[in-house]
Every structure is written in C-alpha cells, then in structure tokens.
Amino acid sequence: MIAALVVRMAGSTGGEDGRQAALVVRMGGSTGGEDGRQHWWFVKLESGSMNPVDWTVGDVVNYFTSVGFPEQALAFRTQEIDGKSLLLMQRNDVLTGLSIRLGPALKIYERHVKVLQKTHFQDESAFC
C-alpha cells in the first residue's frame, strides 16, 4: 500500500509564497512494503503544487525518478505526461502507450498511478 503525505518545505524557489513544494511518499502500510520494510521518498515539485492535477511534466518525471523508476520516467517526458494526463491514464496507456517494459509498467500503474488517481478523486468528491 502507498500513502502520500504532503509537506511544505522552505526554499528559495517554487510556489508563489517563495516556498518550494515537496511530496513525501511512503510505500508500505503499518507492516511495511513487499520486503517487510517501509520506504520513503522525497519528491521535489517544480510547479509548487501538491495537487497532481497541477503538476508539470517535470513534476511527473521527478516523481517517478524519485520513487525508483528513473529510466521509465523518461517515457513520461517523451510523451509529455503532465499531472492532468497522469490522472486520466488507464492501465493500457501505461502498459502499452509508454513503450516501457511490462514489469516496471505494472508496478508504476498499480502502485503509483492508480493510488494518485484514487487519492485525487476521493479528495475531489469530498467537496461535491
């Protein structure tokens, strides 16, 4: 299971208020990840927005690079996948549309894209 925790970090560049946005991602529930441990990643966001719908292509690339998919992150840049596009992706888009190996593509979709979509659309439905 993946949980995303949002953190504002002080910095010299980034958001309108002069702060830099960062996302801290935790993989693994209370019992840890697949290997029994919890994993944490720090993701620098160029856009200054915590909301994936506002992410730039660079933010998407930084996200996937930070969580362990640096080679596959280049496919997101090549295909110009920004946050809005990422949230609209379906399983087949990731498995075949990005031209990346099946194993990493499955992990990217199931552990990251799906979780970001679920989190984003759950948050949005709270306002309806």
Handedness of CA 74, 75, 78, 80 (dihedral sign): negative
Q: What are the boundaries of each domain within the chain?
A: 2-125
Dist. CA 33–CA 10, nearest whole Å: 29
Higher pLDDT, 13 or 79: 79
Structure tokens belonging to residue 39: 């994993």
Q: What is residue 30's predicted lDDT score, i.e. its pLDDT? A: 45
| Buried-state track 76-91, b at ≥16 Cβ within 10 A, e below 16 | beeeebbbeebbebee
C-beta of residue 40 within 8 angstroms of C-beta of residue 24: yes
Dist. CA 52–CA 68, nearest whole Å: 18
Over the stretch 46-80, which tens digit does the pLDDT of each residue have?
777 788 999 999 999 999 999 999 999 999 999 99
Give the sheet arrangement for strand 2-9, strand by strand: 2-9, 20-27, 39-45
**Whole-prediction pTM value?**
0.73
Helix (H, G, I), strand (E, B) or coil at 23: strand
Say which CATH architecture domain 2-125 belongs to: Orthogonal Bundle (1.10)
Does pLDDT of 15 surpass 60?
Answer: no
Over the stretch 18-55, which tens digit does the pLDDT of each residue have?
555 666 666 655 444 455 566 676 777 777 778 899 99
